């Protein structure tokens, strides 16, 4: 990981090396945190965060599901994200906002622990390897099942829940694969460790639905719209494990991974063992959208303000960073 200059913490910009928490932070011990992820892309409009507002909205909704009132508005968090990218002088990057229960309360009742909010960003290339887009990846169906909605909340992007994905990821890597695919608690295909999964048969795209314990991916929503606009039929339904082996194409999507073909699953070659036609078309459509080459999807891009604009504003006597909140607002939200 290549450090940047600044990280946004609770309304202030701090140096990367100074962005620290106490060892007794509640979220560190019990996983009481939620996070999200965005990518900023270099476009002809300037650096732009892809579907920034939707990601921030999901972050806040995830926090609500775990009884963590976020002490900033979605607009403040959106603005803070844009300013952070600008202040770090990045033209493209990965962005990680996290909301967690902080220091001051121990034990399984977290409601009196403060709610802390942090946003970091850094340059991060292809999540599944430089050749994943052109060659595809090899995946393994994990022996670990996706968390059940009877136990936790799959629709929340919660920190502690990702131990489930960590186990599956390690298992797949140790077995010589690049990624894992998890089944839900009923044995149907669910998702990758950090990606939604799609199969193509006879020209129809099928993908697990909300009842399969998936995370409702923002990139997934984009794939739905892109596929529909391109005239492809996309169906949400239960998918049996063997259907992946028999598919003409399989691909994954996610913020970190973007749109990645799967060429092999459990040593079964998918289709012809290379990215299929529909996967290629969707890859290009997505790439055009995130880089601002498609006028139709420009609304998905949240353009980062120029550094000069920030300097002008600061010179005019701004009293707090863009996206900051009064200390009273944090205190009001810290009571749980």
Q: Which residues are catalytic?
A: 157
- Is the CB of residue 143 less than 8 Å from the CB of residue 171? yes
Cβ within 8 Å of residue 107, ≥6 positions away: none
- Backbone angles phi and psi of 54, in degrees to 5: -65, -40
CA distance 89 to 305: 11
- Cβ atoms of 49 and 82 within 8 Å: the answer is yes
- Angle 287-5-25 (CA atoms, 0-180°, nearest 5)? 95
Angle at the Cα of 97 (from 181 to 118), degrees rounded to 5? 140
């Amino acid at each position: 990981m290549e450090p940047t200059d600044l990280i946004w913490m609770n309304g202030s910009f701090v140096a990367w090396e100074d962005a620290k928490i106490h060892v007794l932070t509640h979220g560190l011990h019990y996983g009481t945190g939620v996070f999200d992820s965005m990518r900023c892309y270099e476009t002809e409009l300037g650096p732009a965060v892809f579907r920034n507002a939707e990601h921030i909205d999901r972050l806040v909704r995830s926090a609500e599901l775990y009884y963590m009132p976020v002490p900033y508005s979605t607009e403040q968090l959106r603005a803070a994200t844009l300013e952070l990218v600008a202040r770090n002088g990045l033209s493209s990057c990965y962005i990680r906002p996290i909301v967690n229960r902080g220091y001051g309360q121990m034990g399984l009742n977290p409601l009196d622990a403060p709610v802390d909010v942090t946003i970091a960003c850094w340059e991060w290339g292809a999540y599944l390897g430089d050749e994943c887009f052109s060659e595809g990846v090899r995946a393994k169906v994990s022996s670990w099942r996706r968390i059940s909605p009877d136990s936790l909340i799959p629709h929340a992007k919660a920190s502690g829940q990702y131990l489930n994905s960590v186990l599956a990821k390690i298992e797949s890597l140790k077995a010589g694969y690049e990624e894992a695919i998890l089944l839900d608690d009923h044995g149907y295909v669910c998702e990758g460790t950090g990606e939604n999964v799609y199969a193509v048969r006879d020209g129809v795209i099928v993908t697990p639905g909300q009842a399969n314990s998936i995370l409702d991916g923002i990139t997934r929503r984009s794939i739905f719209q892109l596929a529909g606009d391109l005239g492809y039929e996309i169906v949400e339904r239960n998918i049996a494990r063997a259907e992946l082996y028999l598919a003409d194409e399989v691909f994954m999507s996610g913020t970190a991974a973007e749109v990645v073909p799967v060429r092999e699953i459990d040593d079964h070659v998918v289709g012809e063992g290379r990215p299929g036609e529909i996967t290629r078309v969707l890859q290009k459509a997505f790439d055009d959208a995130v880089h601002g080459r498609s006028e139709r999807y420009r609304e998905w891009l949240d353009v980062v303000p120029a550094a000069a604009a920030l300097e002008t504003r600061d010179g005019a006597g701004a009293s707090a960073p863009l996206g900051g909140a009064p200390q009273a607002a944090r205190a009001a939200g810290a009571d749980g």
